[in-house]
Structure 1
Amino acid sequence: MKSINKFLLLFAFDHDEKLDVETQAFLLLSNVLNFFLFVIVFVEGIISLLEEKLFFAGTLLSLSVLFAFNYLYISRRPNIALYNRLLFLFIILTFVFFIIFGGSTGVNIVWVGSFPFIAINLFGRKAGSLYSLGMFVFILIDFLLLSKIIPLAQHYTLNMSVLISIYVLFSFILAYTLKFVFAQVLFSKERAMINSQNNRTSRDEQIADLSRQIRTPLSNITGILDILGKTNLSDDQRDYINTIHASANNLVNVVSNMVSTTKSNELRIQEEKISFNLFSTLNNTIRLFSENNSKQKFSLSFSAEVPSNMTGNAIKTKQIFLNILNSIAKYNLSENKEITIEVSRTNNMPGTLELLFKITATGNIPFPKEYRSDESLYGTDILLLNTSKHIQFLELGLTQKLIEQDGHLLSIKPEADKTTFEFGITFKESTQSYSVKNIKEKVSNSTSFYKPSVDIKDANILLVEDNFSNQQIIILYIKNLVNKIEVAYNGKEALDKFGKTKYDLILMDVQMPIMDGLKATKKIREIEKSTNTHIPIIAITANAFPEDKERCIASGMDDYISKPFQTEELVSKLKAHLK
C-alpha cells in the first residue's frame, strides 16, 4: 500500500498545494487517467507498428502524443478546466476508435466498459450518466450501421453485439451505483460531523447564557456592597459586609472557571486560513442537496468584483451554508423549491474581502404566528427582534455564532412566498492575516483623531443599558465623580442622543433590544468619519468569552469591561480614555 501511495504522489504537481482538497483530488484523478490512457494507447500503437498495421499504428500513436502533450504541458497550466475538457475529448476519440475499428487486437472495445466510471467520476452522476448513455447509443449505432459501411471497421456477430451491450450497460449501472453510495456515505458523514459540532456547542451556549444571567445580578450585588462599604458601619456590620463580598467574589470565580473549562473543552472549528476557490466550495455544497432532490433547483451567481480565489476558512464557510440549506430543506414545506444564492462584495479596501451572501428560498416556511409582525405598524425594529426567534425556530444558533465570529450578523426575512437569508463573511485577498489587536493598532497609528483631554469631574457620560437595575448601580458608582450622566435604553436611542448632544465618553452594553451595542458602535464610527472626531466607547457586558472582547474591539469600541467588576476598575478605565 505504501508503494501505491508513493506512486500516486508522483501525479501531484507543485501547484496542487495552492488548491483546495477537493480540487487536488479531482486533479490527481485526471492525471492518473491521462497517464494510464497514454500507456494503453502507446503500447497498442507500438504493437500495431510491429505487426505492420500502419493505419492502427498511426492513429494510436497520434492519440498517445495528444495524451502526452495534455499531461506534460496543459496539466501544468493554471487553467484546470481546459486540461480536463481536453482529456475527456481525447478519451472519447480513443474509445470511438476502439468501438469502430477494434484496435490492433480487434477486441479493444472492452476498454469502453471503463467509460462510465471515467465520465461519472469526472463530471458527477448527472452529467456523467448523460455522457455514458450517449456512448452506449453510439455503440448500438455502430453495431447496426457504422460497422457495415465504414472501411476497415470491426464487424461483430449478433452474440458478441448483445454481450458487449450488456457489458457496457452493466458497467454504467455499477459505476452509477458506486458513485451514489459514495456520495451518500460522504453526505452522511458530513451531516454527522455538523450534528456533532452542533450538539457540543449547545452545552457551551447554555453555559454562556447561564454565565451572563448570573453575572448581571452579581454585578449589582458587588456594586451595592462596594457602596455600603464606604458608609459608616460598625465593626460587626463591616465584617458581615466583607463576608458577603468574599462569598460574592468566590461565586464570580466559580462562574469564570466554568466558562474557562467550557471553552477549553469546546470542539472549535480550525481557524487555519487557506487559499481556496469559493465558487467551487459553494457549488460542491449545493451538489450535496441537488443530487438527492431533483425538485430542489439551485442558482449560484457571483458579482463581477468577487474574485474566484481568496484566503479564509473554507471549512467554516461550508458549514454555514450546509446548516442554512439543511434548515431550508427541513422546514420549507413546498415540494418544488428554487434556491438562489447571490454573492457580492461590500467593501473596496485592498487586501480585505467583505462579502455579502444572500440566499433566497421560494416556498413557505411555517413560522409560528407569534414570530410575525405587522410591518406597517412597527417597521424594521420589531423584525430585528424577531430574527432571534427565527434563528431558534430554524435551529441556526451555531450558524449565527459562526457568522458573528467575523463581526457580521445573520438576517432572516420571511415573506408570504419566500424567505431571504443574508449574512457577511470576511476573507482576505492575500495569505497575510492580521489579528484584531494588530488591526486596531494599525488604525490607531495611521489615523489622527481630534479628541481633547477631559478631566473626569468635567466629563459628560452617556450610559447605554437596557436593564434598569444595572443603570442604577453604574450611576451610583460614578455619579459623584463625573459632571453628568445620561441614559439610553438601546443602541437606536443612543444614536439619537449622540446626534443631539456632545458626550465625552460612552459606556455601552452589548446585548440590547432594537439595536445592539456592536451595531450602534459601528454606526457611531461611520458618523465620526465625516467630522474627524473620536469618542471613547467602553463595552460593559456580562459576556465573558475572549471572542466577545474581540468582537467589541473589532466593532470600533476602545475598551471592554466584564461584569461583575470593581468600582476602581471602571473608574480607572474612565480616566484612561478621557485623557
Structure 2
Amino acid sequence: MLENYNAGQVEITRISRCYYDDNIARISKYVVRLLINPSNNHLEGLLYGVDITRSQEQYETQVSIVRTLSSNYRDVYLLNLREKTLSIIKEEEGNEDGLKKKEDGSYSYKKFLAKYIEERVHPDDRDMLHEVLRLRNVRKRIRKKEEYKGNYRVKNGDEIHYYQFRVIRNEDSGIIVLGFLNVDDVVEAEIRQQKLLKEALDTAERASEAKTNFLRRMSHDIRTPINGICGMLEVADYYHNDINKLAECREKIRDASHLLLELINEVLDMGKLESGEIMLEEVPFNLHDIAQSVLEVIEKMAEERKIEITQDNIGVAHWNLIGSPVYVKRIMMNFISNAVKYNKEHGKIMLRCREISTEGDTAVFEFTCRDTGIGMSREFQEHLFEPFTQERVGGYSKYGSTGLGMSITMALVKRMGGDITFESEKDKGTTFVITIPFKIDAEKREAEQKAKKSVCSIAGMNILLVEDNELNMEIVEFITQNAGAVVTKAWNGREALEIFEKSAEGCFDAILMDVMMPEMDGYEATERIRRLNRKDARTIPIIAMTANAFTEDKIRSKEAGMNEHIAKPLNTELVLRAVAKLVQPQMVD
C-alpha cells in the first residue's frame, strides 16, 4: 500500500464474486482509499464495498451481444440514448468522414444516421429507414421488446444489395447495440422461394380451371353420343320393319358407342398415369407393322379431307424391338391423327422414322410428324402438355379432342425414357419430334401374329359363361351360340365354381370369366378352380373378360391362372379367336 501511495495511486479497486448468507453469488466492487492521518502521520486505508451484480451482468450481456454481432454483422455501433451519440465498434466501410468527433470518440447519432442514409441507402427506402431508426422511435420500440429488426436496400452504383438492421436493448443501461448485415443470399433465396410458390400456385389454379372447363365440356361431350344412341334406338323402334333403316341406326349407334368409349378411356388413362399405375410391357414387336397399321387407319381419315401424307424411313436397321407395342401405337396414332384433325383441307403431312443411334442392345428412334395445319399460339404452347387444356372452348365438338391426348402421350413417352419437342406457328402448322429408346429384339421374334381375317370355328364346344351383367351375358351368349357353341351360364364366381365342380371331368372346353362380380370375383373363382383335385381344373382354358385393359390387369389375370385377357366392349372375332386358339391351337395360325 505504501508503494502504491508513494507512486501516486491513492485508490485501489478490486472486483470479486462473493457469497452471502443466502448462498447467492454476487459481484462486489471493493475500494480502498489511501490517506495520511494528520494526527499521527500514519498511512491509513478506508475500505468500502459496493454490490455491482446488476451493472456487471449488464456489461457482460452487452459484451456478449457485441461479440456476437461483430462476428456476423458488417457494421456494429453502440447508441447512447441519453447522450444521443454513436460509437463505432466495427465498420467495414467508413461513414464518419466529415463528421465531428466528440471527446469520447463518439459521433452525433442524428448526423451519422442522416449521412449513412443519404450516401448508402436506396432512395425508395430512405424515408422508411430514417423513420424506424429515428431516436424517439427507437426508444418507443425498444421499451416494448428486447430487440427489433428490418430490411432495406443499399444502392452501390448500378447494383442493389439487401441489408438488415438489428437494434438490441441492453437492460436499462441506456446503451443500444445497432448492427447492419448484408442479407443478399437470404433475401434472394426468399424471392426465389416466393417465385416458386407463385408458379406452383399459378400452375395449380390453371390445372383447377382447366379441370373445371374440362368437366363442363365433358358433360356436353358425353351427353352427345348418349343422346345419339338413345335417339337412334327410338328411330330403330319406329322403323322396326325397315332393314336398311335398322342397319343405318346400328351403324350410328356403333359410331356413338366408340366415341363414348374413347372419351371414358382417355379419362381413365389420365388417372392411371397421374397415380403411376400404368405399367409398361417389355414384349417383342415389329415397329414397321405398328406404323403401317396406324397409317391404314389415318389414311382413310386423310382421304376424307383430301390431305396428302408422305412418309420415309431413314437409317432404320432394327425393326424388331422390345417394348410396349400398345402404347407405341397409341403415341403414333395420337400425333398423326392430330395432324389430320387440326389440318386444313388439301393440307399436307410429312412423316419420318429415323434410327438415330445404337448402343449395345438399345436403339434410339426419332419420329417426326410435320403438318400444314392451324398451328398453335405462343401462349397455348406453354400449356400444351398440361391435362385438360385446349386452345379453343368447345374444341371437342369441332375437332374431336378431349384435351387429354397430349398429356397422356407426353406421360407415356417420358415413362419410356423418351422426350417430345415441337415447333408451331399460328395458321402455318406444327412439327413434332418424338425420341424414344427401345431394346433391340436380337432374335427377331415377332411381337404379334397378323390376325386371320377368317372367323375361327368354335362349333360344338361346350363353354361355361360367367357374367353378372344381363346385357353383357346376352351379348357373349349370342356371339358364342351364333358360332355353334353350347353355353352354360353362371351369374357370379361362386356359382361358376359350383357348376364346374359338379360337372363331369372334361365337360367344358373353355370358361369365359368376367372379373368384377358379386359373391366371388373372377380372380378368386379362377384360383379356386385351378386348385380343384381333377385333371381338367389345371388345363381348362379360362379367358378373362374385363373393362380394365391395362397391363397390370393382364398381369393380375395371369397370376390368378387365366390363360387370356379380352377387353370390353367385346369384339366378336377376338372372342372366337381367343377360344379357338386355346382349345384347338392347331386350327389357328
TM-score between the two structures when normalised by the length of structure 2:
0.30
Greater Rg over alpha carbons, structure: 2
Q: Which structure exhibits the higher relative contact order, with contacts defined as CA atoms closer than 8 Å and separated by 6 or more residues?
A: 1
Higher helix residue share: 1
Higher strand residue share: 2
